[in-house]
Structure 1
Amino acid sequence: MPNWQLDDPAAAWPALRTSCSKLVRQTAWKNACTAAESLGRAPSGADARRYFETHFVPWRLVNPDGSMQGLITGYYEPLIRGSRTRGGRNTWPVHGVPRDMLTIELGDVYPELKHLRLRGRVEGNKVLPYFTREELEQRDAQLPAPILFWADDPIDLFFLQVQGSGRIQLPDGSMARVGYADQNGHPYQSIGRWLVAKGELSLDKASMDGIKRWAQDNPHRLAEMLNANPSYVFFRELPSSNDGPIGAQGVPLTEGRSIAVDPRYVPLGAPVFLSTTYPLSDRPLNRLMMAQDTGGAIKGVVRGDFFWGFGSEAGREAGRMRQQGSMWVLLPRGMTPPALQ
């Protein structure tokens, strides 16, 4: 890892301990996580570096075509406004999981497909794909799904779905938190790319801010734009706290130290060394991260989504991040990467 010396691994220690709270139960990780616990909550940079170099072996992630770089994007925990009751501006439903949606684990039938699942619905004696975003919007009150909150802005709600979790500021000023519960089974399609393909925005303007401005200028085409992404995320309410949102590993994410990956190639919880650049620049960003999350658009070997944290500043950085980067996964000595098993 040519840039390994450019980061302080002690800064990743809180995220490592969070990952180890789950991984310590697995035989392959037990020794490494027990050793981390023995070093306490705040080891020196030298001790943290020695720990990683002693207990882990870095494996470089390489794409099927032999290339060693891939897309690194960013995400964050947004804040939107809403209410538990419908009224005023709060008219956009934040849905829980529909009662009529089936989840079919393909790995139960075909072990080689253990990471794949289908979402569907029963109609007559057939199992059909579950409804797209457009079809869900058309069903409206007929959708057999709980409504957890009512949001006051459809674009903010859309980006809440893209991020997969967030906080909702209620009328009395209190905060609620929601996290990813399930998804309708349709692939994520970027509305930014749709706007570029339609000639509505140039590629450099297809950021979160650019999309929001376009929506404000074209309210009559809002549904057309949103429905270009057939994917739809359903939420669950989570306890409100100051910790990061809960990622796919089941632990709170750490600002600037958690990364979403494709778990077919990177085990959840594993340390990942990322070598990329800051958004819209060539300034190096070399960071030891923890693979604590996944995402509908995070598919492929060298593919990562950098968690920037909570709030508007984190959102600006996340919305501008579309860099190329290299990744190494650090696995306990003796452990084989999933793709080689």
Structure 2
Amino acid sequence: MTLAACAMDGQPAAVQTSVPSVPSATLAYEPPESTVEELDEILRSSSPRRAPRTAVNPNILPGWSQDQQAEAIPALLNSCGVLSHQRMLAIGVDATPDDWVDVCLAAAALPPDDQGAARRFFEQWFTPVKVETENGGNGRFTGYYEAQLRGSRKPSQRYNVPIYGYPGRPGGKTLPTRAQIARGALGKGVKPLLWVDSEFDAYVLEIQGSGRVHMDDGSVVGIGYAGQNGHRFVDLTAVLSRKGAIADRSFESLRRYLERLPPARRQAAMNYNPSQVFFKLRDGKNPVGAQGVPLVAGRSLAVDPRHVPLGSLLWLHVPKGPGGDEVRRLVVAQDTGGAISGPVRGDVFWGHGDEARGRALATNASGQYYMLVPKTNTILAQLSARATP
């Protein structure tokens, strides 16, 4: 598992996540004329050697004709609220907000749940470009989900694990370690947002970055990542496995081990990880990713933004791994994470609940993706200029 939503020191401010509505009579948008062969020739001339790029036809993408692409439209429209007013790098070129206006308006005009119309839209407006590692290989793909916890607004014998709000890190200073925080190093000025009944569930919450807490009064409270103490994350399953305390690096082994320890020894085991994640109460139904927009189950992907811009459309192909199904679907890069590093690396957000948890735990295999590059005049002109001697 990964720190999918916990890499940043704070989330961006909320942004508009819809595009303006327009009369249907004005929706006569056509992308610029270009062929896959033309773009491929440009890419081969302009792409840096360390990041190979190859343009392809959508019809050769594994599983393209079987995917329900209409399910990705809501995720794209969420990102359109950001892309329509900020610059974005795509395959090494500078895409302006104008590059996304017609694309987003055309997406907003699609009839809901029309799979054929959605597939034609993506084929008309985008060209898939294969993204590879520096040696031309595949990368690692995992999954994450929204954790489920039981909690209370007041501490008690049952609810005795605090979930803290973010105290801030002025000047980027490092906050106390997990062990120091457990001994009260944050002081009386930092109050827990709420209390939960399991150290293990609290640990999973920090890994996943967001969660839903089922409160003792019957309500459900959403919480999301707010910040981190500045110390390096240490995977407890890796440490305890090396020490022979657990048989394997699974969450279930960790749960069983922690639950049979007395409180003092349980805290000592947790302290192997000096990193502490802080949270905030969340507005809205769905968790928010690093791009500042709500995540969509099965259609949002955490990426390394140094290589893949947030907001990018990606065709993801992950062959069947141990205990997991093959993943072939259109996703949108909307989150990031501390363990997500490299040009081909991703973490699929599967949503919440037992099914999402199962899919997240089972998604762990080598795979590849293709970036769907908008066929806009600005991008094509820049690529052409870079390829001209």
Q: Shared fold by TM > 0.5?
A: yes
> Hey, what's the Cα distance between the residues in 2 that align with 1:152 and 1:234?
17
Q: Does 1:54 align with 2:124?
A: yes
Structure 2 counterpart of 1:289, from 331, 335, 360: 331
> TM-score of the superposition, structure 2-length normalised?
0.73
Q: Is the Cα–Cα contact under 8 Å of residues 179 and 238 in structure 1 kept in the other structure? A: yes
Give the whole-Å Cα distance in 2 for the aligned partners of 1:211 and 1:144: 32
- SS of residue paired to 1:206: coil
Gaps of 5+ in 2: 1-59, 86-96
Structure 2 residue 180 is matched with structure 1 residue 135: yes
* C-alpha RMSD of the superposition: 2.4
Look up the match of 2:76.
16
Partner Cα distance (1:201, 1:185) in 2: 28
User: Quick one: which amino acid aligns to residue 141 of structure 2?
Assistant: I
Residue 362 of structure 2 is aligned to residue 300 of structure 1: no
Distance 1:309 1:38 in 2: 26
Identity, % of aligned pairs?
38
Q: Secondary structure at the match of 2:183?
A: helix
Whether the aligned pair in 2 keeps the contact of 1:56 and 1:332 (CA below 8 Å) is: yes
Closer, same or farther: CA 62–158 of 1 in aligned 2, 3 Å:
same
Q: Which amino acid aligns with 1:216?
A: E
Pick aligned residue for 1:209 from 252, 259, 268: 252
Match of 1:37 among 99, 102, 108: 108
Q: Is the 8 A contact 2:324 2:359 kept in 1?
A: no
The one-letter code matched in structure 2 to 1:2 is L
Q: 4+ runs of 1 displaced by more than 3 Å?
A: 217-221, 334-337
Equivalent pair of 1:274/1:328 in contact (CA under 8 Å): yes
CA offset at residue 2 of structure 1? 3.3
2:142 aligned with 1:73, yes or no?
A: yes
Q: Secondary structure at the match of 2:356?
A: helix
| Counterpart code for 2:353 | G
- C-alpha separation between the residues in 2 aligned to 1:193 and 1:253? 29
| Alpha-carbon distance in structure 1 between the residues aligned to 2:110 and 2:118 | 8
* Residue 63 (structure 1) aligns with: 133
* 61 and 38 in structure 1: CA distance in 2 versus 1, 3 angstrom threshold: same
CA-CA distance at 1:7 after TM superposition: 2.0
Change in CA separation of 1:209 and 1:328 when aligned onto 2, cut-off 3 Å:
same
**CA distance in structure 1 between the aligned counterparts of 2:372 and 2:269, rounded to whole angstroms:** 40
Deviations 1:37-77 (A, max 9, x none): 122433x323212211222232322223x143122111111
In 2, are the aligned partners of 1:207 and 1:320 still within 8 Å (CA)?
no
Deviation readout 1:150-182 (Å, 9 max, x if unpaired): 111111111111111111111111111111111
Q: Any idea what SS the aligned residue of 2:184 has?
A: helix
Q: 1:237 aligns with which of 264, 270, 281?
A: 281
Report SS of the residue matched to 1:309: strand
Between structure 1 and structure 2, the one with the greater Rg is: 2
Residue 257 of structure 1 corresponds to 299
Residues 281-290 or 139-148, more deviating: 139-148
CA offsets, 1:272-303, max 9 Å, x none? 11111355247422111111111222222211
Paired position in structure 1 for 2:163: 94
Q: Which amino acid aligns with 2:207?
A: V
Q: 1:285 to 1:304 in 2, by over 3 A?
A: same
Residue aligning to 1:183: 228
Whether the 8 Å contact between 1:188 and 1:297 is mirrored in structure 2 is no
Asked if the contact 1:177/1:237 (under 8 Å) is kept, the reply is yes
**Match for 2:266: what amino acid?**
L
SS for the counterpart of 1:330 is: strand
Contact 1:133 1:227 in 2 (8 A): yes
SS in 2 for 1:139: coil
Task: Give the distance between the partners of 1:19 and 1:41, measured in 2 at CA.
Answer: 17
Within the candidate set 354, 363, 367, 1:312 is matched to: 354
Alpha-carbon distance change, 75 to 143 in structure 1, aligned in 2, over 3 angstroms: farther
What's the TM-score once normalised by structure 1's chain length? 0.82
Residue of structure 2 equivalent to 1:151: 196
Whether the aligned pair in 2 keeps the contact of 1:136 and 1:143 (CA below 8 Å) is: no
Amino acid at match of 1:11: E
- Aligned residue for 2:370? 328
Partner residue of 1:199 out of 219, 222, 244: 244
Flag structure 1 segments of 5+ consecutive residues without an equivalent: 104-118, 121-128
Q: Which SS does the other structure have where 2:218 is aligned?
A: coil
Q: Does the CA-based 8 Å contact 2:324-2:362 persist in structure 1?
A: no
Shift of 1:237: 0.6
Match of 1:226 in 2: 270
- 1:279–1:209 CA distance, 2 compared to 1 (3 A): farther
Structure 1, residues 177-214: CA drift from partner, whole Å, max 9, x if none?
Answer: 11111112223222222222223334xx4222221112
Q: Give the count of matched residue pairs.
A: 308
User: Where does residue 33 of structure 2 map in the other structure?
Assistant: none
* Aligned partner of 2:209 among 149, 164, 178: 164
Partner Cα separation in structure 2 for residue 45 and residue 260 of structure 1: 25
